[in-house]
Amino acid sequence: MKPTDHESEELTMTKAEIITRIINRMTDPYADSPEDYQYAPMFDLAFASHVLADCRRDDKSYNFDPEYRMPEEATPALVMEAWNCLIRYKKRELRVEQFKKFIIEYEPVCEFDNYYVPKHEGASVVLPVDFIYNSTMFPFSTHNTENPDIIDMLHIGMNSAKTFNDHHEFCWFDKDNEILHSTDTPFADGVLDAEDFARFILADKETFDYIVNEVMSDDDAVTFFDCSKADLRKEVKL
């Protein structure tokens, strides 16, 4: 029976659905990782035409199920657009992973506090332990007051006997339980979100410029990003 006009509209895929089907046909969505695309080239229209023809030939030769075939609506232009969007996304995700590893290695807590925290309400605040030595008041607010008295401080000290070590480099305060914690590696420990900070660096020009220009060395660029600092700057255009 011939479908009605309404049923035909329901069966028509959107452009986003077509592109998703194209990507699924050209890749294994359950097994690929950003590293697999580090050196993958972009498609031009001519190469996309060859890829589309190859996929259609293989779909017929191997008698793939319709749901796994290149969609009939696919065109060379859509194949090129789909692939190039995928490549840009995967390479961006690779940079996120690389920045995450760099952050965990170098623990740039001060940069996190200076750049990330002011733009994220409720972000975790981690301070150098030296701040406590050099401060005339407790550097964290509590539920009772912004400046806890001696009794409050004694209570916090007793709660923190097993969680705070003044030989560690950084500390943070659990306001709800009134416990002071310390560590040398807040990003590696998961106290601060290295991936979220990595995404922020790649989205915020001021932070990116400072991290690359002032924190990252030329050797770091090669070690973590497999490119020069100059090439990284050219790639990440903010």
pLDDT tens track for 190-218: 999 999 999 999 999 999 999 999 999 99
Q: Can you tell me the mean pLDDT for 117-133?
A: 92
Cβ atoms of 174 and 191 within 8 Å: the answer is no
Question: Does the structure show a pLDDT above 60 at 8?
Answer: no
Mean pLDDT for all residues in the chain: 92
pLDDT tens track for 128-186: 999 888 888 888 888 776 678 888 889 999 999 999 999 999 999 999 999 999 999 99
AA letter at 37: Y
Sheet holding 179-183, edge to edge: 127-128, 170-174, 179-183
Q: How far is CA 206 from CA 110, 161, 200, 202, in A?
A: 15, 39, 10, 10
Per the rule left: phi > 0, alpha: psi between -120 and 50, beta: everything else, 122 is left
Cβ atoms of 70 and 78 within 8 Å: the answer is no
Instruction: Write down the H helix ranges in the chain.
Output: 5-11, 15-26, 45-61, 76-106, 109-111, 130-134, 150-159, 194-201, 205-210, 218-225, 229-235
